[in-house]
Structure 1
């Protein structure tokens, strides 16, 4: 049984809130507001009716926390029981839940050291989301299933242990694997019809642990194209050219965020039917395109 419903939100520590505000609104098409959180200036980004999907505070350009949404109090109790059963310490943090705008929140760390916040009851805004670029972000499936913010890809020293934690303790399901180069295995996991909400990669070559990228999806290829035009016009570094992935079929490009890690911006992602799905391994990440900048 999948205990986690969707990727609810992300917290990031970034060196420049100002640069991110321009990037998020003018390139990605989110809306931004400045708020004070825990006594710190924060940039809060919206992409749908949720009060926030990304919260950025000043720091060292890294992943701060990952918010995993569950359906309600019973599901959160199941997460607590699963963590107890696995011997994973956690905190049922009412104060943090209030600051995050959710009804209840459990906080722990995964085997790779990333902070996780399991929550339900996220605040929905009366004011509609209106993108400054006309973007309509895909956060639900056609049947109404919640597919969340998008996905996040993390790199860690203990990829196998971390993957097993999400699979065995939290009920994530393996979607498939990609071996883009010999010796590098990427594992993709889902919690809802979105092909993956999380991917786990090992440290490879001279790389380091941390967030590799997060992905947001829009419902119109022209919105993707216009965003790509702005990336070119403003000479923002493009990490990978426009292309289509083998596994989730996403038509997307990758751009370097103001923090240095990537943002994947795409459309037409695959939805999974668990009743008919079989796990496979791909020998490449793209059918075409997605030529990565190795600089």
Structure 2
């Protein structure tokens, strides 16, 4: 399908490591480990046997990097060749690979200005992942195909250029589109059977660029419901009510993270079979629910 296999990991700069630790463990059901990375205080979040899926370091509540996983050295070489052919500057960094716990890593910047880290050989932990809330996160298909940590929705001003980069240079495939309001087109892209690992959205009115939301999928609706109860009991801002998406069929709600961007927490997402899949455009983002808080 593509040299890029899955969304392997994410890094964020955040204003409060403490608030994030509570949110990640008690609401989302991730495990959190306080550590030092390159001399900085950091929190490493796990959701499966990978050593880390999300890494948080002190900063200004922004996306630091996106880790795109490839299957091995040949696939990484293919990514490097594709970037060279497209005239995209990149760097292979052994020191950074060691920090990220991977065998090899090369990095570049996409047209929207986001830092991408292509890697393989992620560290797997002997110690099993045991969620503090009993959550079991969906990071593979039933037959074992890697689907990554979830998905990421990025807002940018140069949507066409950015989408073309992921499609034409990196080989992502378009899953479908949504027009949630007239004149606004969202494009959803996949690299594996997960409906989308990335979506690219235009700026809404005078809103900011950056991360709109990340999505974490669990395998049990009751885990989603219990997380939603905690969000409401603790009066954490709920960005969207429980609902079912039109395109990926995810049953989910959205909650505001301590950094301000959203976290979609859901279950029952559809899987794509490229042999039978056709791209369509939906005129709404949800069949029901997902009433968004626009304040």
Name the TM-score class by shorter chain. over 0.9
TM-score for both structures, normalised by structure 2 = 1.00
Q: Unaligned regions of 5+ residues in structure 2, if any?
A: none
Aligned-residue offset at 1:102: 0.1
Q: Aligned partners of 1:264 and 1:103: how far apart in 2?
A: 31
Q: Aligned partners of 2:92 and 2:260: how far apart in 1?
A: 33
Q: Does 1:209 align with 2:204?
A: no
Q: Aligned partners of 1:236 and 1:208: how far apart in 2?
A: 22
Secondary structure at the residue paired with 1:201?
strand
Matched with 1:77 is 77
Matched with 2:196 is 196
Q: Aligned partners of 2:99 and 2:73: how far apart in 1?
A: 18
Aligned-residue offset at 1:204: 1.9
Secondary structure at the residue paired with 1:144?
coil
Matched with 1:25 is 25
Q: Aligned partners of 2:84 and 2:227: how far apart in 1?
A: 45
Matched with 2:172 is 172
Matched with 2:59 is 59
TM-score for both structures, normalised by structure 1 = 1.00
Matched with 2:265 is 265
Q: Aligned partners of 1:250 and 1:196: how far apart in 2?
A: 11
Q: Aligned partners of 1:35 and 1:170: how far apart in 2?
A: 33
Aligned-residue offset at 1:15: 0.3
Matched with 1:115 is 115
Deviations for 1:80-113, whole angstroms, at most 9, x for unmatched residues?
A: 0000000000000000000000000000000000
Secondary structure at the residue paired with 1:164?
helix
Matched with 2:11 is 11
Secondary structure at the residue paired with 1:215?
strand
Matched with 1:45 is 45
Q: Does 1:92 align with 2:79?
A: no
Secondary structure at the residue paired with 1:226?
helix
Q: Aligned partners of 2:161 and 2:208: how far apart in 1?
A: 17
Deviations for 1:106-140, whole angstroms, at most 9, x for unmatched residues?
A: 00000000000000000000000000000000000
Q: Aligned partners of 1:279 and 1:271: how far apart in 2?
A: 14
Aligned-residue offset at 1:38: 1.5
Q: Aligned partners of 1:204 and 1:264: how far apart in 2?
A: 19
Q: Does 1:294 align with 2:262?
A: no
Q: Aligned partners of 2:114 and 2:38: how far apart in 1?
A: 20
Matched with 2:228 is 228
- Aligned residue pairs: how many? 295
Matched with 1:251 is 251
Q: Aligned partners of 1:28 and 1:294: how far apart in 2?
A: 23
Deviations for 1:53-76, whole angstroms, at most 9, x for unmatched residues?
A: 000001111110000000000000
Aligned-residue offset at 1:169: 0.2
Q: Unaligned regions of 5+ residues in structure 1, if any?
A: none
Secondary structure at the residue paired with 2:4?
coil
- Root-mean-square deviation over aligned CA pairs: 0.5
